Chains A and B, each alone.
Chain A
Amino acid sequence: MAEIQIKNVAKRFGSYQALHDINLTIADQEFMVLLGASGCGKSTLLRIIAGLETQTEGEVWIGGRRIDHLPPRERGIAMVFQNYAVFPHLTVFENIGFGLRMQKLPNDEVKRRVERTAELMHIEQLLGRYSGELSGGQRQRVAVARALAMEPDVILMDEPLSNLDALLRLEMRAELKGVLAESNTTAIYVTHDQVEAMSLADRISVMHEGRIVQAATPVEVYRNPAERFVAGFIGNPPMNFLPAASADGGKWQVAGEIYDGPAAANGVEFAIRPEDIAPADTGLPAKVRLVEPLGAHLLVTCDVDGTMFRAILESDLQVKPGDMLKLAPQTDRIRWFDSSTSLAVA
């Protein structure tokens, strides 16, 4: 059992507050992705869990044991680094077996575990080589194998795929998901790539300016962003926002059209995903600015009520810049965000 609990963790570097009061529970064997732009504190949080960084406040528990005062080696974790950190003076075999040797396991046990993890990562033919003789993808495999060979309770990954080229990244992503699902370890994975996050995660924690703004399943994060930031960060292109003016009792006027919205008295913003829009006889009046064919779809950038608005439409639709369209949002996919707090309102 390796449930991870992060309780009220804060981190300051001098006067700079990198993390504010982080609370997060990660279930045993869950694959949690920390997602955010660079500088949001996701790597710092991971390094605090690993013990490479010390939190200014708060506690970290793994498997019911408080570990935030322990050095990395006593935390039952293994880590995969962005630049692989494969030891250049050791062979692949000795790299994978490094942690096992530190545990003073007998030679045949080291050999058995190294060979098994090497096989799992398809690098058994590289065991005699040095890191200088490996490609980036192969080094990445060695780094993952080295972590897995430890049979850790928790595996921590800091942007492990960001240095690979696009095709290799796709391949490793699928492989990583399969291998980790079989290994029964709890995984925390840091990335700034939302596609990576979506495809790997059981749950995503979206981070922004040192806070976790939403921790939920990928679909939930995508469909029901808890904050305007999440809505504008997730999705490519992200959600569209339009100002809304209060019309009576839960009705809101958006670009001249009336939609059912929250009963809140505060000002709200209307939001809709680009793919949840279809041309219709009535709807938001949009002036087409730019048409980008994407193969299966058209990405149409329009001007709605003076605001930039993107729609993903069927590719057989005949539109050109300058056309006027009526765009009807799918009403159950409309989301509302409080203008002052930026939080989602129902």
Chain B
Amino acid sequence: MTTVDTNPGTDTRKAGRFVYISAVVLLCAWVIVPLYFLLINTLSSPDTVNSFPKAFVPEFDLGSLSFFASFAGMLTALKNSVLVAGMTMIMSIVVGAPAGYALSRFDFRGKELFRLLILLTRAFPLPLLALPLAVMFIRTGLDDTVFGLALVHTTLAIPFAVLITFSLFSGIPLELEEAAWTLGCTRLTAFTKVVLPLILPGITASAIFAFVISWNEVFAAAVLTIENRTLTAFLLQNLDTSPLHLKFAGGFILVVPALIFIFAVRKYLFAMWGIANR
């Protein structure tokens, strides 16, 4: 390759590089700028929020946030959110991981159909299911309970749990398990001694992902609970009639935990989408 600038090859490559970098910057800005404004407005006093032009540096006024901390029902909602998300996390892994293992290790009739059907569970919009679900829950006494909502969220999280764990298990060569069998393991001990230690980080990631799905879900939470609202449903209900600075602060409270979770597990999300690891 030559270093002369007029070389058309270098030119195109430079242009391509420019477009690439611009696209990356644009995409980052698309995500980061709104978040940044959210942050600024959360940490601003009510007056600043409603004024124009906006400052680019937050003034670290914790008034809005401290208002939320002392807001009636806020802590209960937070506790409910954590409970529901925690239950969703456990249930979706307990059900999803064995399914992922089966998909990756066994050949059975209708395997491809099964994989498709798992995704199809997400094809029905929740608003469509909300009314029948609500009726059913009221009949069975599951309405307005943390467990009932966790069941719905588990249903939403299971497809991801299955597909993530499927990809994790597929990444572990069957030979490792076979070697363990010949070295004195049963199927179960081979799993606990060889497979589990290798996929534990991935399982954790998949669990946290389920947690985030539940944490972010608002529709089912709003429809199926009244007294035992989760944070999202609670904020949705109350922020509607709140002043602007509180809306910002509420949004901030909702976004941050999800962001932290996603950031913590980004490696495994890439793995799930087949970008890394495989």
Q: Which residues of A contact B (CB under 8 A)?
A: 50-52, 71-73, 77-79, 81-83, 85, 87-89, 98-99, 102-103, 146, 150, 156
Shortest CB distance B182–A (Å): 4
Q: Which residues of B contact A (CB under 8 A)?
A: 173, 175-176, 178-186, 189, 193-194, 197-198
- Which of A51, A85, A98: most chain B CB closer than 10 A? A85
Q: Kindly state the separation between the CA atoms of A150 and B184 in the bound complex, as whole angstroms.
A: 10
Q: Which of B173, B176, B183, B197 is the one whose CB lies under 8 Å from A99?
A: B183
Q: Kindly state the separation between the CA atoms of A306 and B198 in the bound complex, as whole angstroms.
A: 61
Q: Kindly state the separation between the CA atoms of A82 and B184 in the bound complex, as whole angstroms.
A: 19
Q: Which of A85, A88, A102 is the one whose CB lies under 8 Å from B184?
A: A102
Contact A78 to B183, CB < 8 A, known contacts A85-B175, A85-B178, A87-B194: yes
27 CB contacts below 8 A, A to B, read A50-B178, A50-B182, A51-B181, A51-B182, A71-B181, A71-B186, A73-B181, A73-B182, A73-B183, A73-B185, A73-B186, A77-B182, A78-B182, A78-B183, A79-B179, A81-B178, A81-B179, A85-B173, A85-B178, A87-B179, A87-B194, A88-B198, A89-B198, A98-B183, A99-B184, A103-B184, A146-B183
B183 surroundings in chain A (CB, below 8 A)? 73, 78, 98-99, 102, 146, 150
- Asked whether B176 lies within 8 Å of A85 as measured between CB atoms, the reply is yes
B182 surroundings in chain A (CB, below 8 A)? 50-52, 72-73, 77-79, 156
Q: Kindly state the separation between the CA atoms of A85 and B185 in the bound complex, as whole angstroms.
A: 14
Look across to chain A and name the residue whose beta carbon is closest to the beta carbon of B181: A72
Shortest CB distance A223–B (Å): 36
Q: Kindly state the separation between the CA atoms of A48 and B94 in the bound complex, as whole angstroms.
A: 33
A72-B181, A98-B193 known; 16 new pairs, CB 8 Å cut-off, are A50-B182, A51-B182, A52-B182, A71-B181, A73-B183, A77-B182, A79-B182, A82-B175, A85-B175, A85-B176, A85-B178, A87-B176, A87-B194, A89-B198, A98-B180, A146-B179
Shortest CB distance B186–A (Å): 7
Q: Kindly state the separation between the CA atoms of A79 and B186 in the bound complex, as whole angstroms.
A: 16
Shortest CB distance A100–B (Å): 9
B193 surroundings in chain A (CB, below 8 A)? 98
B175 surroundings in chain A (CB, below 8 A)? 81-83, 85
Look across to chain A and name the residue whose beta carbon is closest to the beta carbon of B183: A99
Look across to chain B and name the residue whose beta carbon is closest to the beta carbon of A98: B183
B186 surroundings in chain A (CB, below 8 A)? 71, 73
Shortest CB distance B141–A (Å): 45
Shortest CB distance B268–A (Å): 17
Q: Kindly state the separation between the CA atoms of A146 and B185 in the bound complex, as whole angstroms.
A: 14
Q: Kindly state the separation between the CA atoms of A97 and B186 in the bound complex, as whole angstroms.
A: 17
Q: Kindly state the separation between the CA atoms of A98 and B190 in the bound complex, as whole angstroms.
A: 11
Q: Kindly state the separation between the CA atoms of A81 and B193 in the bound complex, as whole angstroms.
A: 19
B173 surroundings in chain A (CB, below 8 A)? 83, 85
Q: Kindly state the separation between the CA atoms of A103 and B189 in the bound complex, as whole angstroms.
A: 12
Q: Kindly state the separation between the CA atoms of A82 and B179 in the bound complex, as whole angstroms.
A: 11
Top 7 A-B pairs, shortest CB-CB distance: A102-B184, A99-B183, A85-B179, A85-B175, A72-B181, A79-B182, A73-B184
- Asked whether B197 lies within 8 Å of A89 as measured between CB atoms, the reply is yes
Shortest CB distance B132–A (Å): 43
Shortest CB distance A131–B (Å): 10
A79 surroundings in chain B (CB, below 8 A)? 178-179, 182
A87 surroundings in chain B (CB, below 8 A)? 176, 179-180, 194
A88 surroundings in chain B (CB, below 8 A)? 198
Shortest CB distance B191–A (Å): 13
Look across to chain A and name the residue whose beta carbon is closest to the beta carbon of B178: A52
Look across to chain B and name the residue whose beta carbon is closest to the beta carbon of A158: B175
Q: Kindly state the separation between the CA atoms of A88 and B176 in the bound complex, as whole angstroms.
A: 9
Look across to chain B and name the residue whose beta carbon is closest to the beta carbon of A79: B182
Shortest CB distance B221–A (Å): 39
- Which of A50, A77, A102, A150: most chain B CB closer than 10 A? A102
Shortest CB distance A228–B (Å): 36
B180 surroundings in chain A (CB, below 8 A)? 87, 98
A82 surroundings in chain B (CB, below 8 A)? 175
Q: Kindly state the separation between the CA atoms of A107 and B173 in the bound complex, as whole angstroms.
A: 29
- Asked whether B181 lies within 8 Å of A52 as measured between CB atoms, the reply is yes
- Asked whether A102 lies within 8 Å of B185 as measured between CB atoms, the reply is yes
Q: Kindly state the separation between the CA atoms of A146 and B180 in the bound complex, as whole angstroms.
A: 11
Q: Kindly state the separation between the CA atoms of A268 and B179 in the bound complex, as whole angstroms.
A: 48
A85 surroundings in chain B (CB, below 8 A)? 173, 175-176, 178-179
Look across to chain A and name the residue whose beta carbon is closest to the beta carbon of B197: A89
Contact A102 to B178, CB < 8 A, known contacts A73-B184, A83-B173: no
Shortest CB distance B33–A (Å): 41
Look across to chain B and name the residue whose beta carbon is closest to the beta carbon of A99: B183
Q: Kindly state the separation between the CA atoms of A89 and B193 in the bound complex, as whole angstroms.
A: 10
Q: Kindly state the separation between the CA atoms of A83 and B179 in the bound complex, as whole angstroms.
A: 11
